[in-house]
Amino acid sequence: MTPTPYAIEVEGLTKRFGGKLAVDSFAMRVPRGQIYGFLGPNGSGKTTTIRMLCGLLTPDEGRGTCLGFDILRESARIKREVGYMTQRFSLYEDLSIAENLEFIGRVYGLRDRRRRVNESLQRLGLEKRRGQLAGTLSGGWKQRLALASCLLHDPKLLLLDEPTAGVDPGARREFWEHLHQLADEGITVLVSTHYMDEAERCHALAYIAYGKLLASGSAAEVVAGARLSTWCIEGAGLASAARELRGAPGADMIVPFGEKLHVSGTDAVALAASVSRVAAGAGLKATAVEPGLEDVFIHLMRRAPEPVSVARSPEG
């Protein structure tokens, strides 16, 4: 089989639960060796999509390949080549770190299980804790163990479903250093996240809401594609300024950022006039700034048409 340039290439993916639409004609291409960010609010269909990609769910409609294997006919082969990390810690808390990895190795039928376990422990910095019970680990160390178990069988693709939820900033940073090292080695990573700083670390992004793809591309391309104008207002009395700007021409979105106010909209001329009027009247400083990913994703979320009923998989 000739490798394709894409680790994931799907189109028209659709999934319903009890007649409710969870994923709606979803399409995505993920080049090999990239870290691809998967963003969207809770209940947007991210987990359902990931489960269809790795063969845990069968799409009702659509087609595509994962690592060159057909997602409808070759799901068993996909499972052997993919490492899947769920939102919740799913290893045995009454087993030690090493015992959990030994068990995973047996599940995959690895012949050189002991060597792979030792290499995985060393790679993730778990060697000194190998005898510690998994249930006694902090969130950051559980995260490392979960990643180690995903890598044990040398997968070509990692599917990580909100892997850093509830983990402290230091552990998150170390985790992302591991991901970039893996990508440098040729492993493709699809990772869902709610953190904008993590989204900016990805080579490319896809934003999904209510089962539909709203935007995709690099962070710069997603920001440019939104055609959003943003102003930053500073000074005393920001709450009063925010109230005055609500409903003003061009001011589609008003978001506090600490001691600053971000005001955004797609009508640049109307927005500039409204911001200038309110800022001048209150003696505030107003500066046009480049919109950030958070500005863009809030904008996309507010514009997304919410269906009458939204289907959710057990984990969103």
CA count, 13 A, side-chain hemisphere, 168: 6
Biggest alpha carbon distance in the chain?
A: 74
125 is a domain residue: yes
Same domain assignment for residues 100 and 124: yes
**CATH classification at residue 174:** 3.40.50.300
pLDDT at 155 over 90: yes
Same domain assignment for residues 211 and 267: no
Q: What is the pLDDT of residue 313?
A: 45
Same domain assignment for residues 171 and 269: no
Tell me which residue of 124, 140, 142 sits closest to 178, measured CA to CA. Answer: 124
Same domain assignment for residues 131 and 175: yes
Same domain assignment for residues 133 and 16: yes
Q: What is the pLDDT of residue 308?
A: 45
For residue range 88-143, what is the model confidence (pLDDT) as tens digits? Answer: 888 999 999 999 999 999 999 998 999 999 999 999 999 999 999 999 999 889 99
Helix axes 139-151, 113-123, angle to 10 degrees: 140
- Stretch (H or E) spanning 171: helix 169-184
Same domain assignment for residues 127 and 183: yes
The single-letter DSSP state of residue 253 is E
301 is a domain residue: no
Walk across the sheet containing 20-31 and list its strands.
20-31, 6-17, 61-66, 69-70
For residue range 254-265, what is the model confidence (pLDDT) as tens digits? Answer: 999 888 999 999
204 is a domain residue: yes
Tell me which residue of 222, 209, 147, 155 sits closest to 178, measured CA to CA. Answer: 147
User: Tokens 């082969």, residue?
Assistant: 77
Same domain assignment for residues 97 and 214: yes
Any bridge partners for residue 208, and if so which?
213
Please, which pLDDT band fits residue 305 given cuts at 50, 70 and 90? low
Domain holding 124, by residue range, is 6-223
**CATH classification at residue 275:** 3.30.70.100
Same domain assignment for residues 204 and 262: no
* Rounded CA Rg of the chain: 22
Q: What is the pLDDT of residue 51?
A: 92
Same domain assignment for residues 40 and 148: yes
Question: Residues 194, 46: contact at Cβ < 8 Å?
Answer: no
Q: What is the pLDDT of residue 20?
A: 85
1 is a domain residue: no
**118: three-class secondary structure by DSSP:** helix
Measure CA 17 to chain center. Answer: 23
First to last CA, the chain: 35
How confident is the model over 48-62, as a mean pLDDT?
Answer: 92
Residues 6+ apart with CB under 8 A from 303: none
Query: Where is the domain boundary, 184, 202, 223?
Result: 223
Q: What are phi and psi of 59, to 5 degrees?
A: -60, 145
Tokens standing for residue 45: 């269909």
Q: Work out the burial of residue 267: count CB atoms within 10 Å of its CB; fewer than 13 is exposed, 13-18 middle, 19 or more buried.
A: middle
Q: What is the pLDDT of residue 165?
A: 82
The single-letter DSSP state of residue 135 is G
266 is a domain residue: yes
306 is a domain residue: no
Q: What is the pLDDT of residue 270?
A: 97
Same domain assignment for residues 240 and 116: no
pLDDT at 303 over 90: no
Q: What is the mean pLDDT of the chain?
A: 90
Query: Where is the domain boundary, 173, 191, 223?
Result: 223
316 is a domain residue: no
In the chain, how many domains are there?
Answer: 2
How confident is the model over 157-168, as a mean pLDDT?
Answer: 89
309 is a domain residue: no
Query: Where is the domain boundary, 174, 200, 223?
Result: 223
> What percent of the chain has pLDDT above 90?
73
Q: What is the pLDDT of residue 204?
A: 96
Please, which pLDDT band fits residue 2 given cuts at 50, 70 and 90? low
Tell me which residue of 294, 306, 273, 304 sits closest to 228, measured CA to CA. Answer: 294
Tokens standing for residue 288: 């046009």
Please, which pLDDT band fits residue 314 given cuts at 50, 70 and 90? very low
pLDDT at 177 over 80: yes
Please, which pLDDT band fits residue 169 given cuts at 50, 70 and 90? confident
Same domain assignment for residues 145 and 191: yes
Same domain assignment for residues 168 and 234: no
Please, which pLDDT band fits residue 307 given cuts at 50, 70 and 90? low
Q: What is the pLDDT of residue 3?
A: 65
| 167 CB neighbour count, 10 Å cutoff | 19
Q: What is the pLDDT of residue 315?
A: 46
Q: Which amino acid appears at position 212 of this protein? A: K
pLDDT at 241 over 60: yes
pLDDT at 30 over 60: yes
